[in-house]
């Protein structure tokens, strides 16, 4: 159990940090395995925060706890000052927590555009039917021939989001037929469609080539500049070190280091954890800063 003071709402304005998400004392056991032990971290508004660690460290499990898919054995998740313990996953999504998955979870039978539309439309309530109406197929025709693609607001937004992740022109491709890199970007666009305040990205860079992951990095920095909080799980250390404002390091379910990329890289425990796991993926390996 975490100490009682860890559960108390913490409003220390020190350092001008503005946490949108706070995880306090989260512990998760799977049978005898401790996936997470007393994990505490926070994610600031308008920043990219890295979450790194060797395989099996518990990164995905922590994402599941934050998005509500995994109930922790103890600990709290606080989003914008609100304890999420009793908030179900779809409500968390609507409050502003979006995520992508390490193992792609796309709506494979839908087109790229429709994948994004599901994200866009999920925030529309049935009594707001007039907003929904904008997604009716004929709304496009009414706008006249030239403006067909943008005549419908929802379709237009979906297409702009896809263009934003570099998929302009791929709107009507069936998502299950897309290459991994593009599919990851569709998933990202779907998450962004919900206009989240916090987006959890579980290895968005895997399956991307060098140029693509560079573009992903600058996209994430732009999102943060717009005020979104990004929590990034990533094995591509170069990407992490380049875009993250802060980095938390998980090892066997424990947070072993937190700080700026430089601080974390210099931390002997981190180096030990990574060298212990595999020398090739040490955080210092790809750093060019």
Ligand X SMILES: Nc1ncnc2c1ncn2[C@@H]1O[C@H](COP(=O)(O)OP(=O)(O)OP(=O)(O)O)[C@@H](O)[C@H]1O
Which positions touch Mg ion (CB under 5 A)?
Answer: 59-60, 102
Minimum CB separation from other proteins for residue 256, in Å? 28
Among the listed ranges 48-56, 80-88, 114-122, 274-282, the one in contact with ligand X (CB under 6 A) is 48-56
Whose tokens are 């919900």? That residue is 194
Do 77 and 92 touch, CB atoms closer than 8 A? no
Q: Which is nearer to other proteins, 5 or 145 (CB)?
A: 145
Q: How many residues of this chain bind ligand X (CB under 6 A)?
A: 12
Smaller CB separation from ligand X, 69 or 168: 69
Site pattern 167..186 for ligand X (x: CB under 6 A): --------------------
Ranges within 92-111 binding ligand X (CB under 6 A):
102
| C-alpha–C-alpha distance, residues 59 and 232, integer Å | 10
Nearer to other proteins, 52 or 224 (CB): 224
HSE, side-chain direction, 13 A CA sphere, residue 38: 6
**Residue closer to ligand X, measured from CB, 102 or 221:** 102
User: Which range in 2-10, 49-57, 143-151, 236-244 contacts ligand X by CB under 6 A?
Assistant: 49-57
Q: Is 58 in the site for ligand X (CB under 6 A)?
A: yes
| Comparison of 42 and 60: residue with beta carbon closer to Mg ion | 60
Q: Which stretch binds ligand X (CB under 6 A): 56-64, 79-87, 108-116, 273-281?
A: 56-64
Choices 50-58, 111-119, 153-161, 223-231 (CB under 6 A): range interacting with ligand X: 50-58
Print the SS3 string covering the chain.
Answer: CCCHHHHCCCCCCHHHCCEEEEEEEEEEEECCEEEEEEEEEEEECCCEEEEECCCCCCHHHHHHHHHCCCCCCEEEEEECCEECCCCCHHHHHHHCEEECCCCCCCCCCCEHHHHHHHHHHCCCCHHHHHHHHHHCHHHHHHCCCCCHHHHCHHHHHHHHHHHHCCCCCCCCCEHHHCCHHHHHHHHHHHHHHCCCCEEEEECCCCCCCHHHHHHHHHHHHHHHHCCCEEEEECCCHHHHHHHCCEEEEEECCEEEEEECHHHHHHCHHHHHHHHHHCHHHCCCCCCCC
CB of 252 to ligand X, least distance (A): 8
Contact at 8 Å (CB) between 28 and 65?
A: yes
Q: In what order do the strands lie in the sheet with 33-44?
A: 33-44, 19-30, 74-79, 82-83
In the list 37, 42, 47, 60, the residue contacting ligand X (rule: CB under 6 A) is 60
Residue 30 contact, options ligand X, Mg ion, other proteins, none, Cβ 5-8 Å cut-off depending on partner type: ligand X
Q: Which of 59, 184, 190, 242 binds ligand X (CB under 6 A)?
A: 59
- Site for ligand X contains 53 (CB under 6 A): yes
Closest CB to other proteins among 200 and 257?
Answer: 200
132 or 266: whose CB is closer to other proteins? 132
Tell me how far, at minimum, the Cβ of 163 lies from other proteins, in Å.
Answer: 4
Give contact residues for ligand X (rule: CB under 6 A). 30, 33, 35, 53, 55-61, 102
């Amino acid at each position: 159990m975490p100490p009682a003071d860890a559960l108390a709402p913490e409003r220390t304005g020190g350092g001008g940090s503005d946490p949108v998400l706070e995880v306090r004392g989260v512990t998760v056991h799977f049978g005898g395995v401790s996936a997470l032990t007393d994990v505490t971290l926070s994610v600031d508004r308008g920043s990219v925060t890295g979450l790194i660690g060797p395989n099996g460290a518990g990164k995905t499990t922590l994402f599941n706890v934050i998005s509500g898919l995994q109930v922790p054995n103890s600990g709290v998740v606080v989003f914008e000052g609100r304890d999420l313990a009793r908030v179900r996953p779809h409500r968390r999504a609507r409050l502003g927590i979006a995520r992508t998955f390490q193992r792609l979870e796309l709506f494979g039978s839908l087109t790229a555009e429709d994948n994004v539309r599901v994200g866009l439309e999920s925030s529309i309530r049935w009594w707001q039917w007039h907003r929904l109406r904008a997604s009716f197929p004929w709304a496009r025709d009414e706008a006249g021939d030239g403006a067909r693609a943008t005549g419908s607001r929802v379709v237009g937004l979906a297409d702009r989001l896809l263009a934003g992740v570099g998929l302009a022109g791929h709107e009507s491709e069936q998502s299950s037929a897309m290459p991994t890199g593009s599919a990851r970007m569709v998933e990202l666009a779907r998450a962004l469609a919900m206009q989240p305040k916090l987006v959890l990205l579980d290895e968005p860079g895997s399956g991307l080539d060098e140029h693509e992951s560079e573009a992903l990095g600058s996209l994430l920095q732009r999102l943060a500049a717009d005020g979104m909080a990004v929590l990034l799980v990533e094995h591509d250390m170069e990407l992490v070190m380049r875009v993250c404002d802060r980095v938390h390091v998980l090892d066997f379910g424990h947070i072993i280091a937190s700080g700026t990329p430089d601080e974390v890289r210099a931390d002997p425990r981190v180096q030990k954890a990574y060298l212990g796991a595999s020398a090739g993926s040490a955080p210092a390996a790809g750093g060019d800063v």
